[in-house]
Amino acid sequence: MKKVILGSILSFVVSGTNFANALEVTVDPFGYLGVLYNQGIQSSPHSYIGLNARAGANFLLDNNWSLGLGAIGAWSVFSNKQANAPYKSSGDISDAYVKYNTENLKLAFGRYNTDFVEFDWLAGNIQGISVKINDRGMNYWGIYMDSILYNGYQYSGQQGKRIATDLNALAAYNPTAKKSYVGGEVIAGGVDYTYKDFRISPFVLIDTQLPTITKGALVQVGAKAGYATDFSGFHSTTLLRGMFQYGDTDGLAGDDLAGLIWIEEALKHKIFNFGAGFYAVLGADGKGSLWTFSDRSKFYGRGINSPGVPAPYFANSTVTGYLFGGLDTNRVRVDAMVAFGVYQEYSLMADYKIWQHRNMKFNAGGGYVYSYSSKVLNDIGNSSLVFFGKFSY
């Protein structure tokens, strides 16, 4: 991080008197260069190699405002199935934003990361406006999204973001990608209420036009209730989520109603985490899905074998249970998962920090992901070996 003094950036006459204001700016650069190799091991396997790079800087002013600018690019080095490969060459301005950040008010507009809102179903970089207001244990938030930068980014609160998934795809903000992933304009809002160890978070999300054949509107209303506590060296987090959805996500005539019931128990002890969950996506016609741009699940099926929107594990009429575990140290992180039911997954992913100097580091790792749903056609493949390397700063 580097500090620069901008002297006399404002100089004008007020009541006949000249004066100058000086702002101190902290320049915080960010970026990475990564490579990923995805090798299918089923019959007629896929294989591809991709490069992904991102570079930018955040300019922090000393009056709580900040400006940011960044670019991202992906290059398909090799693919044996060009038609179905998720890794296609693309690029865009990833970040171009203005932010205001205090304890009680957070505001961002432009192209920016909206994680600060802490909304389960929308994360990563979007194009739009986000606001979060903190008032004595209550958080009020709202998001307007015109488009999304889809690069596989998916954050799970306890385990962190899914390993290497942000190196496995890139869809820019352009109209073509918006038509595939977003459709219309998205407006979401909600409240987070915390009392001691309890938290409840109701929300509503509206997409004015689904990117399906019928292109109707999408409406989602839901809530999350959580309870966190410590006992005997363990940290326990219990989450219950529910959602009601109206929207023609399959592009076919029929019942457009769907619902979600999802419960999860997660435990953490020192460097280890483990737990179990169960969910059901209810849809009367057995087709379509919950249209989620992101989610807080611990699955790798969306990020590795089926990158994009919607997620294969949230297809209508899906009932699935799962067990997960992992460890996280200063150098090593491991995620493991087994899911059984309509959606099935067996995944083991590892990330090792090989080198670090100040804010620069190099990570490498890999793993195996098998994911399958009888409700979703997968053009890529259900079984992947993944290897990656990533230099970041």
Measured distance CA(225)–CA(243) in Å, rounded: 12
pLDDT band at 18 (very low <50, low <70, confident <90, very high): very low
Q: What is the pLDDT of residues 159-174, one digit of tens each?
A: 889 999 999 999 999 9
Q: Which two tokens stand for residue 208?
A: 């004015």
DSSP 3-state of 27: strand
Measured distance CA(131)–CA(189) in Å, rounded: 9
Q: What is the pLDDT of residues 36-69, one digit of tens each?
A: 999 999 888 999 999 999 999 999 999 999 999 9
Q: What is the pTM of this model?
A: 0.90
Q: What is the pLDDT of residue 82?
A: 63
pLDDT band at 255 (very low <50, low <70, confident <90, very high): confident
Q: What is the pLDDT of residues 200-249, one digit of tens each?
A: 999 999 999 998 777 799 999 999 999 999 999 999 999 999 999 999 99
Nearest to 390 by CA among 168, 208, 210, 148: 168
Q: What is the pLDDT of residue 381?
A: 87
> Is the bond into 307 cis (omega within 30 degrees of 0)?
no
Q: Which two tokens stand for residue 215?
A: 């292109």
Contact 261, 279 (CB under 8 A): yes
* pLDDT, mean over the chain: 90
Calculate what percentage of the chain has a pLDDT beyond 90. Answer: 78
Beta-bridge partner residues of 48: 38, 79
pLDDT band at 6 (very low <50, low <70, confident <90, very high): very low
Q: What is the pLDDT of residue 287?
A: 84
Residue 281: CB partners within 8 Å, gap ≥ 6?
Answer: 258, 259, 260, 289, 290, 314, 315, 316, 317, 318, 319
pLDDT of 12 > 50? The answer is: no
Q: What is the pLDDT of residues 75-103, one digit of tens each?
A: 999 998 765 667 788 999 999 999 999 99
Place of tokens 């209508």: 316
pLDDT band at 5 (very low <50, low <70, confident <90, very high): very low
